[in-house]
Amino acid sequence: MEIKRMMLVGAGLMGGGIAQVAAQNGHNIVLNNMAPESVDKELNTIAKNLDGQVKKEKMTAAQKDDFLADSPD
């Protein structure tokens, strides 16, 4: 059985980190939290983390944009 979609309950530091790593490895992620603003905050943190990867030339700006634009089917 292949896992294609994951749901993380809790959009704190750990949940956001797990979501980012899983998404960068090809999984569709659903990030959920009781406070919706926490999800938005963590998505901004992920975008900042990706900016760091672009600066270190571990990914291109286009790859970052594609990563952030992807959404599950």
Tens-place pLDDT, residues 21-61: 999 888 899 999 999 899 999 999 999 999 999 999 999 99
Instruction: Identify which has the larger pLDDT, 73 or 34.
Output: 34
Q: Is residue 20's pLDDT more than 90?
A: yes
Residue with tokens 């790859």: 63
State which residues form the domain around 16: 5-69
Distance from C-alpha of 43 to C-alpha of 37, rounded to nearest angstrom = 10
| pLDDT reading at 9 higher than 90 | yes
User: Residue 23 CB: number of other CB atoms within 10 A?
Assistant: 17
pTM for the whole structure? 0.81
Exposed/middle/buried for residue 16 (C-beta within 10 Å: 0-12, 13-18, 19+): buried
Tokens representing 6 are 């994951």
> Amino acid identity, residue 66?
D
User: How many domains does the chain contain in total?
Assistant: 1
